[in-house]
Amino acid sequence: MDVSSETRLRPGARPRGGGETARAANGPAARAIDWLRRNLFSSIGNTALTLAVLAVLALALPPLYHWAIGDATISGNNRAACIGDGACWTFIKVRLPTFFYGHYPDAERWRVHLALILLVLFGLPVMREGMQRRGLFTVLLLTLFPLLAGILLVGGVAGLREVDTTLWGGLMLNVVISFLAIEASLLLGILLALGRRSVLPAVRTFSIGYIELWRGMPLLIIVITSATLVPLFLPEGASVDRLVRFIVAFSLFEAAYMAEAIRGGLQGVPTGQIEAAQSIGLRWWQVRAFVELPQALRFAFPSIINTSMDLFKDTTLVSFIGLFDLLSAVIAASKDTAWLGYYKEGYVFAMVVFFIACFAMSLQARRLERRLNRHK
Amino acid sequence: MVRRPSRGAVITQWVILALLAAAAVLLFLMAHENFARRHVSFNFSFLAWPANFDIPFHLISWSESDSYGRVIIVALLNTLLVSALAIVTGSVWGLLIGMMRLSRNWLVRNLALAYIEVVRNTPQLVQIVFVYAATVQLPPLRQSIAFAGGALLNNRGLYLPAFVIGDGMWWLPWLAVALLAAIPFLWRRRRGGRPIGAYSLLLVPAAMGLVASAVERMTFPELKGFNITGGVVVPPELVALWIGLSLYAAAFIGEIVRGSIEAVPKGQNEAAQSLGLSYAPRLFLVTLPQALRIMVPPLTSQYLNIIKTSSLGALIAFPELFQMVLGTVMQHSDRYVETLFIVGMVFLAINLVTSAFMNWYNRRAALVER
């Protein structure tokens, strides 16, 4: 969606000026009353609407509060601890390791933590504005970090015990898949977006066909293909890990969406920039690498973040092919006979975890968008 | 910016084409060899085989001896049913959310914003599974929630009153649907400069009369012993998928509605105001008709999204296209390539038909500039 409209004048906010400001200047209390009058009680109809919404909230919020906090339980570590009518957060507390790491062995979990710390360390310089050599850090995040994290998580070298990917799970799995798929789909998406604008008819046709075909398919068909069909196209005896198969297929799928996000950015680069670059004798790839793409990616960054957010949410579809992500862990937990009846807590927990991650991403996208538009 | 490609570019193009062709040939050879080794062949003869399994929810008649081909039709109808239901309710709910976002009332505006943020920032699959888990936890049969009008809701689904169509009358409701579908085509008719399209609304009572004459009697769901007799049952899977798809789509449609209404030039509204029109006519005669034109393209992709994501119903075992064809049929018949091919083609066809229809509508609704 168009995020820039956020910055537009809100329908309820009247232009400030003249009498409004004069009245609003009489201290905070008067300002508050003025605000209330303007936004909630401007007319009889508006007042009625406000009262109706307040009534609905008064009916809905107290039970919600009692369920989630007031009567909820979090102490203890078995079902007997949950005696009140409220939520049984004890259930979540007990299951937390499964929700976060899946079946990753207890003794090896420090490796997951270390990989997470590495992600933050490598990611921070990339996210910080005005950082020197940001391009270098981006390249490091996309090359060195996955290598290090891969060694850490998979193991089998440098005295680390090998942890089979079938043991991976929980939120960790969602994050691993997202990172790799974002990286791969971004690179492929750049090629496709350039291909779509290419002057070579074959390249252009292929790119358009690829993008439109994958965007017309439900993701689920890709997920199932990766699980059932891909082995048929592999040489005899070769077998590829189910997780890797999924990540490859998922990246191919998401690349079509990334390409569209990047195309938006490419369209934002003034033609004069490219013509200027060509006129000083830069070759095709030099124009792309040094002039067009750096600007286009900056323009496309908000859309790329939004696409990445959708991609992150889509990783829950691995539950269809038996990979044990956060959603699968929650579904499995809600069917545990020892905790029967506490299904709400699990889903609410999953929703909250995804909400925090995705909301942070969309706020970041909006902030970047505002920054981009400020210079216009 | 049409440039003649340079010679180097043309060579690059041929190299890329050759690489793609080589990859395709390699994949084909690999698949061919693997097919031969596993004694798999690519043909659709299996569609005529009897299926030998039950489908819990079907719109057309189904028996276990029916063929795999019929499974696909049954499943496709289920997919289309839930998509159509979700498109209708999602649009209505989304329109409401969009209007709330534009309200001058701070509370209403931000309530809608909170709804949109929660829905958009959590995975749809989690929402659907959550709603399904909640419908399964509804009260059991004996403590069904009764609604006005005779509907019953319990953990086996939603029981609605049903019309029983008399023998040989089945075509009357379809005729009624055709009459209703004709209204948009007649709406803009003019004779001698006078708009007469509004008379097409007379078709509505005519259609209702047709349906009424086809109905023999009505049955209401009634609790009898351990079962409910009469009425029709909407299974909890369908209810959950319907609600899940609608709630999600509504958040996006709400933003589309808000964006398109904001995109209508403010002067239009002001001009209407200066003519003395009050709020409702301004909204329905001036703003919304213009906003509708802006809305159509993004709405198209949203509707296509609903059809695509109805596939998520497979996780809660609603017998739609994926659950049936890529789940049950694929496992029973061992036909991986063919079933995937069929489902892929079906979605391609749905996409093409929907966008063709929306493009047609878009052309009709687009502003005719001088």
What is B48-142+237-365's CATH number, 1.10.3720.10, 1.10.10.350, 3.10.310.10, 1.20.210.10? 1.10.3720.10
**What would the mean pLDDT of A269-288 be, rounded to a whole number?**
89
Find tokens 């420090």 and name the residue: A110
**What would the mean pLDDT of A321-333 be, rounded to a whole number?**
87
**What token pair was written down for A12?**
């309820």
ipTM above 0.90, yes or no: no
Closest CA to A250 of A271, A230, A273: A230
Find the closest chain A residue to B106 by CA distance: A39
Tell me if chain A has a CB within 8 Å of the CB of B314.
Answer: yes
What are the residue boundaries of the structural domains of chain A, listed by start?
A: 17-70, 163-374
pTM, to two decimals: 0.83
- Give the pLDDT band (50/70/90) at residue B90: very high
**What would the mean pLDDT of B163-185 be, rounded to a whole number?**
78
What does the pLDDT look like over A111-166, one tens digit per residue? 888 888 888 888 887 777 776 777 788 888 888 888 888 888 887 777 777 778 88
Distances (CA, A) of B136 to A50, A185, A292, A345: 35, 38, 54, 16
- Give the pLDDT band (50/70/90) at residue B178: confident
Chain-wide mean pLDDT for chain A? Answer: 82
* Architecture of the structural domain at A163-374: Orthogonal Bundle (1.10)
Tell me if chain A has a CB within 8 Å of the CB of B36.
Answer: no
**What would the mean pLDDT of B240-251 be, rounded to a whole number?**
93
CA distance A109 to chain B (A): 26
pLDDT at residue number A12:
47
- pLDDT over 70 for what percent of chain B? 96
Contact B340 A350 (CB under 8 A): no
Q: Could you count the other beta carbons within 10 Å of the beta carbon of residue B210?
A: 21
**What would the mean pLDDT of B68-75 be, rounded to a whole number?**
87
- Give the pLDDT band (50/70/90) at residue A15: very low
What are the residue boundaries of the structural domains of chain B, listed by start?
A: 48-142+237-365
- Give the pLDDT band (50/70/90) at residue A180: very high
Tell me if chain B has a CB within 8 Å of the CB of A50.
Answer: yes
CA distance B37 to chain A (A): 9
Partnered with residue A325 across adjacent β-strands are: A170
Chain-wide mean pLDDT for chain B? Answer: 83
pLDDT at residue number B368:
58
Tell me if chain B has a CB within 8 Å of the CB of A206.
Answer: yes
Encode chain A in three state secondary structure.
CCCHHHHCCCCCCCCCCCHHHHHHCCHHHHHHHHHHHHHCCCCHHHHHHHHHHHHHHHHHHHHHHHHHHHCCECCCCCHHHCCCCCCEHHHHHHHHHHHHHECCCHHHHHHHHHHHHHHHHHHHHHHCCCCCCHHHHHHHHHHHHHHHHHHHHHCCCCCCCCCCHHHEEHHHHHHHHHHHHHHHHHHHHHHHHHHHCCCCHHHHHHHHHHHHHHHHCCHHHHHHHHHHCHHHHCCCCCCCCHHHHHHHHHHHHHHHHHHHHHHHHHHCCCHHHHHHHHHCCCCHHHHHHHHHHHHHHHHHHHHHHHHHHHHHHHHHHHHHHCCEEHHHHHHHHHCCHHHCCCHHHHHHHHHHHHHHHHHHHHHHHHHHHHHHHHCC
CA distance A289 to chain B (A): 17
Q: How many helices (H) and strands (E) does chain B have?
A: 13, 10
Find tokens 């998922």 and name the residue: A250
What does the pLDDT look like over A51-80, one tens digit per residue? 888 888 888 888 888 888 877 777 777 777
Find the closest chain A residue to B254 by CA distance: A1
pLDDT at residue number A376:
54
A236 contacts on B by Cβ (under 8 Å)? 33-34, 37
Q: Which among B109, B117, B133 is the nearest to A343, CB-wise?
A: B133
Chain-centroid distance of CA A85 in Å reads: 34
Among A337-351, B103-117, B335-349, name the most confident range: B103-117
Tell me if chain A has a CB within 8 Å of the CB of B64.
Answer: no
What does the pLDDT look like over B6-37, one tens digit per residue? 777 788 888 888 998 998 898 888 878 877 77
